[in-house]
Amino acid sequence: MSTPTPFNVTSPADILSYVPHVLGFQPKDSLVFLTMTGKRIGATLRLDLPGPDTDLFDYASGAGSFLQSDTGADGVLMVLYTDQEWTDPAEPPYLELVHCLDLVLDASGLQLRDGWLVGGSHWREYFCDDGSCCPWPGHPRGTITDSRLNAEMVYQGSSYADSLETAVGNLSQESHEDIKRLCGDYQAAYSAGWGSKGLGREALRVWDVVISATKGKPAASPTDTPEVTAFLLAGLAATPIRDCLPVLAALGLDAALSGAAASGAFRGKKTHVAIPAECTAMLSSRPAAADAGPQTSSADAASAFGGVFVGTYAGALDWERLDALHAVLLALSPLASGSSRAALLTILAWIEWARGRGSRAHLYLQESVRVAPGYALARLLTELIGSGALASWTRQRDRAWQSESPHAA
């Protein structure tokens, strides 16, 4: 789901032009909802259209659980994107599904106020079969991009991709044998030591330097050093490092270290571990992070650590650092393989979920499971998102993520 914007909407074409801008991509085979509070548009939700074997009432109930997260809403608008042919004005596509949605929403106190179907060449009011006010077969799709609101959003710098896949970007892999060999060497050399206070701490320090260096910049390459790149990828395959990264980006190094120790991700005494010389050189200009001070109890540190991961953390997140982590992971993605790639894609999915962009999160999770079938964290995150759970901060404008474009979700 995405958060509201301050634009004035004066026509159905305005609403239809708003949807791809707020999603960041042109929907296809999708059902999109916009919550309403009075006359104000609120959150936006996009779902894939159900398959032929889907229980339509279950599908509608799932959509309703998402929409009820906007607790101030009293109504819903619907946009159905499909190329399915509409031949009879009185029999629109997906009529049974929309009936189920109407029942579910009405039971939850949300009125389905209006709806439109956007097809390959035309768009049309979904609930109107009166040819005098809703001429058949509808309005040309070009009237959407010709709308006043679309012109205003484009003028203010908003744009969108032509598909969800294009919006996410290229997830293809490249062959870099040197990095692959080094990554394997590091995984073998350090084995289960990633969860120690020595190696785990140093690995997070390296990640912290890379995130800080990337903050506020596009990450075409997080590092020009193959050894550092391979070390980062090798650590991703280890559960303790993978689970610490969202907290490291969101709350900083000290919070990640203290939270990892308190939650049991890091074990044993702090010992010195010799990491690759190229990584040591990166750290040489930065002071070592202090261990958590007595002002942070183990219970508080563990609560913050887990709260960030499941979206219940009540404090502020450092979105610039989270954006930097996202950029670093995207840059590393073509070089990653195996469990490192599955972990990388799952963290990307978590960041998109934390941003409120469930469609992109789902695409990353699908790719993660394709790479490593049965990957546990990807499965758990899929269940979390599928249950309708939203991170607490997405409901609060002062804590929610704001993209570079103020109009893209």
Inform me whether the pLDDT recorded for 380 exceeds 80. Answer: yes
| pLDDT at position 405 over 50 | no
Residue 105's pLDDT band, with cuts at 50, 70 and 90, is: very high
Task: Name residue 9's amino acid.
Answer: V
- Give the sign of the dihedral formed by CA 117, CA 118, CA 120, CA 122: positive
Residue 24 has phi, psi (to 5 degrees) of 90, 0
| pLDDT for the residue 219 | 58
Q: Is the pLDDT of residue 194 over 70?
A: yes
The answer for residues whose C-beta is within 8 angstroms of residue 294's C-beta and 6 or more apart is none
pLDDT of residue 299: 82
pTM given for the model: 0.83
Q: Are 80 and 118 in contact (CB under 8 A)?
A: yes
Which phi-psi region, left, alpha or beta, contains residue 174 (left: φ > 0; alpha: ψ -120 to 50)? beta
What pLDDT sits at residue 142? 94
Is residue 5 scored above 60 in pLDDT?
no
CA atoms within 13 A on the CB side of 279: 23
What's residue 307's pLDDT? 94
Q: Is it the case that residue 106 has pLDDT exceeding 90?
A: yes
User: How many angstroms separate the Cα of 392 from the Cα of each of 10, 87, 186, 246, 359?
Assistant: 31, 44, 37, 16, 18
217: left (phi over 0), alpha (psi -120 to 50) or beta: beta
Q: What is the pLDDT of residue 68?
A: 85
- Taking only the tens place, the pLDDT of each residue in 261-276 is 888 888 867 778 899 9
Instruction: Enumerate the β-bridge partners of residue 36.
Output: 41, 75
Where residue 234 falls among pLDDT bands split at 50, 70, 90?
very high
Banded model confidence at residue 290, pLDDT cuts 50, 70, 90: very low
Give me the pLDDT at residue 409, please. Answer: 32
What is the average pLDDT across 64-82? 90
Measured distance CA(176)–CA(171) in Å, rounded: 15
pLDDT in the model for residue 286: 67
User: What does the radius of gyration of the chain's CA atoms come to, in whole angstroms?
Assistant: 24
- The count of other CB atoms within 10 Å of the CB of residue 275 is 23
The 8-class DSSP code of residue 49 comes to P
Residues 118 and 81: beta-carbon distance below 8 Å? yes
Q: What is the pLDDT of residue 293?
A: 37
| Reported confidence tier of residue 313, pLDDT bands at 50, 70, 90 | very high
Domains along the sequence of the chain with CATH:
12-164 (3.40.140.10), 169-395 (no CATH)
